Amino acid sequence: MLYDNVMVPFDGSESAVAALAEAARFAKEDPGLTLRIVQIIDTNKLVINRLEAQNIVDSAVPEGMRKAFEEVTAEANRHLHRQIDGMLGGLMNKIVIELLEETHPGSQIVSYAEECNCDLIVMGSRGLGAFRGILGSVSSHVLREAPIPVLVVKE
């Protein structure tokens, strides 16, 4: 086993899909490998958008905030599974899927990898917000800061 615990940050971009496909290939070759798929979402932005769409102006109401948070988190989780479940079919590996609230994605990826004792990060070269043809700022940050190997996959 070359790697035991592989992290794949996933944002739904074509690059992230290519990275997950590469990590799944590693996993197929080594059933003992743990695959950690992590999606980082901006829950604050999503909750605000949800409340505005529902025309709820008093966002200080804790019940409304809590309900909106639960709804956007559940939606993000369903959407993530729709995107990745087909790619994971047939894998016999331990698969951990986590949703994290965004603060600073690059730093969060590095911290998560350290906290979970990952020995490889497989990520896309560009996320959803990056300019085409340029290494994304998140992947660039992870390459600079991660104390473990980082495999950057192009789609």
Mean pLDDT of 120-142: 74
Name the 3-class secondary structure at 38: strand
Q: What is the pTM of this model?
A: 0.85
Which helix (H) or strand (E) element contains residue 62? helix 62-88
Q: Is residue 89 part of a domain?
A: yes
Q: Is residue 55 part of a domain?
A: no
Q: Is residue 88 part of a domain?
A: yes
Q: CB-based contacts of 45: which residues, under 8 Å, 6+ apart?
A: none
Taking the C-alpha atoms of residue 81 and residue 20, their distance in angstroms, rounded to an integer, is: 13
Q: Is residue 131 part of a domain?
A: yes
The count of domains in the chain is 1
Q: CB-based contacts of 43: which residues, under 8 Å, 6+ apart?
A: 69, 72, 73, 101, 102
Mean pLDDT of 24-45: 91
Q: Is residue 61 part of a domain?
A: no
* Residue 130 falls in which region: left (phi positive, over 0), alpha (psi -120 to 50) or beta: beta
- 66-92 pLDDT, tens digit per residue, is 888 888 889 999 999 999 999 998 899
Q: Is residue 118 part of a domain?
A: yes
Range of the domain at 17: 5-41+84-153
Q: Is residue 126 part of a domain?
A: yes
Assign 133 a pLDDT band (cuts: 50, 70, 90): very low
Q: Is residue 24 part of a domain?
A: yes
Q: Which CATH number goes with the domain that contains 138?
A: 3.40.50.620
